[in-house]
Structure 1
Amino acid sequence: MASSTIKVEIKRQSTPDAPSTTENFEIPYRPGMNITSLLGEIALNPVDVSGKPTTPITYDANCLEEICGSCAMLINGKARMACSALVDKLTGPNHDQPITLAPLSKFPVVRDLSVDRSVLFENLKKVKAWVPIDGSYDLGAGPRQAPQIQEQRYPLSNCISCTICMEVCPQFNDVTNFVGAATIAQAKLFNMDPSGSVLKSERLRALAGDGGIQECGFAQNCVQACPKQLPLTEAISDMGRDVFIQQVKDLFAR
């Protein structure tokens, strides 16, 4: 007989400097729940499995449809999005297998399941992942893009900045300072833009520096874990070639 409750084990941390603890909950089962709705049930009645009152779980969420990228966490030890992780697929056919939730392990914990992922945005700033526009006046129509280029750029534009690719990457750590697959893919996206390509050489030089593309071990964890199925390894390979060409150009330009 299927269990009428869902067992949940959550790793908690009240402040960035506090020690982590584990709390267990039992939530009434209903069909079609995802992890976000499970956390919402705890917020409605924040009482642990022993009946002790506690506080609602802190976590990041916004769109609830795998677009904003904010609800990434470790679910049963795997980095994934809470909004698209269905309880029915996590608890087994009888709904009796416990679910474990923990914050992403490679980012500073803010509280509970919420982490500080600002390192991604600092890395995007390093490679100038934007289309430069000088001033607020009308610049007119931009350059036309060939349909073939649009087709190559579109998958890269689907990045939701969830940082799952960085979480699963063995090279993303404090030793290497590797910028990660998302940053490299966005550099390619804007290098292929007719207007954004004006900063192409600067992006490539940034990726040739400390923590750049040479740190990638090509483990391919990123492309397997990406919730939007971005062609990350292809982007890394292409950018590695472009970085090398830029270095050769710079060498002979001295």
Structure 2
Amino acid sequence: MAVQPREITQTSPAGATDRTVKFIVTRQEGPNAKPYVEEFEVPYRPNMNVISALMEIQRNPVDIGGKQTSPVCWESNCLEEVCGACSMVINGKPRQACTALVDNLEQPVRVAPMKTFPVVRDLVIDRGRMFTALKKVKAWIPIDGTYDLGPGPRMAETTRQWAYELSKCMTCGVCLEACPNVNDKTDFIGAAPISQVRLFNAHPTGAMNKDERLDALMESGGIEGCGNSQNCVRACPKGIPLTTSIAEMNKDTTKRLFKKWLGM
């Protein structure tokens, strides 16, 4: 349940107030440094999000006790839930900071980096694990040498509609953070790369490399690592049907396995 900031006592013509919002930020000086917590109070503004609060802390890096500190580091780009850069854990839930409105958050607001990925500094994490997985499953459509062949086959409209939903993935890493099977003790690639295999295998040109992608999913850390917790589909900020993709790829890899056994 959302908790409103402190009562308004004065309002300026620009709509600013003397209300403040308390933020508890988990920080870390570097990849090997010990994490610690700092508390801040930022001026409240209507419709402010977590990114705007972090920008306020950056402008005036003074903690709740009045001590000058270093500005908090984080990543952001589009500020409209498209790039996936501002992924972090907000009040215990992995999500995008740009769409996390303070008015809808329980306060004090607790902000921390995602734990699935190595911390670079403060809220900045290294999502290299995700991009390595996408390389492993060849999440692209090779077009070299096809320019003189003319237009490729058109995708059926019924396929295009659900494929478009899969294409909304912004490699934010939230599904990996929410998955109990993705951690530093496993090499499971997670839901997003598996869903991308389904997307590119459905493309008329991408299907030319379908078997290569399925073979990659059948290797260690592939689809067998899924424990069916379904946290990924609940956490995905774009509402991508990740569990449906995992089920479809489970069927396709099983068919591929039997074909390899039979030498087909």
* Aligned position for 2:241: 231
- 1:250 counterpart (250, 260, 264): 260
Is 1:69–2:84 an aligned residue pair? yes
2:246 is paired with a residue whose SS is: helix
- 2:48 counterpart (33, 45, 60): 33
Whole-angstrom CA distance in 2 between matches of 1:125 and 1:203: 10
- 2:223 counterpart (208, 213, 218): 213
2:21 is paired with a residue whose SS is: strand
TM-superposition CA deviations, 1:38-60 (whole Å, max 9, x none):
00011111111111111111111
Paired AA for residue 228 in structure 2 = F
* Aligned position for 1:105: 115
Shift of 1:137: 4.5
Q: TM (normalized to structure 2)?
A: 0.91
Whole-angstrom CA distance in 1 between matches of 2:183 and 2:109: 27
TM-superposition CA deviations, 1:19-69 (whole Å, max 9, x none):
111111011111110000000011111111111111111111000000000
- 1:2 counterpart (7, 19, 30): 7
Whole-angstrom CA distance in 1 between matches of 2:52 and 2:181: 33
Whole-angstrom CA distance in 1 between matches of 2:86 and 2:248: 30
Whole-angstrom CA distance in 2 between matches of 1:139 and 1:185: 29
1:83 is paired with a residue whose SS is: helix
Is 1:42–2:47 an aligned residue pair? no
TM-superposition CA deviations, 1:64-88 (whole Å, max 9, x none):
0000001000001110100000000
* Residue pairs, 1:1-254, within 5 angstroms: 2=7, 4-91=19-106, 97-135=107-145, 137=147, 139-253=149-263
Size of the aligned set, in residue pairs, is: 249
Residues 204, 63 of structure 1: alpha-carbon distance in 2 compared, 3 angstrom cutoff? same
Contact 2:181 2:227 (C-alpha < 8 Å) held by counterparts: yes
Paired AA for residue 195 in structure 2 = A
| Higher mean C-alpha deviation, range 135-144 or range 125-134 | 135-144
Whole-angstrom CA distance in 1 between matches of 2:126 and 2:145: 32
| Higher mean C-alpha deviation, range 231-240 or range 53-62 | 53-62
1:201 is paired with a residue whose SS is: helix
Whole-angstrom CA distance in 1 between matches of 2:123 and 2:185: 24
TM-superposition CA deviations, 1:119-178 (whole Å, max 9, x none):
111000001010011158555312111101101201000001001000010111233311
TM-superposition CA deviations, 1:175-221 (whole Å, max 9, x none):
33111000000000000000001110011111011001011111100
1:171 is paired with a residue whose SS is: coil
Whole-angstrom CA distance in 1 between matches of 2:178 and 2:195: 16
TM-superposition CA deviations, 1:72-112 (whole Å, max 9, x none):
00001110100000000114xxxxx2011000011100000
Q: TM (normalized to structure 1)?
A: 0.95
| Unmatched segments (≥5 aa) in structure 1 | 92-96
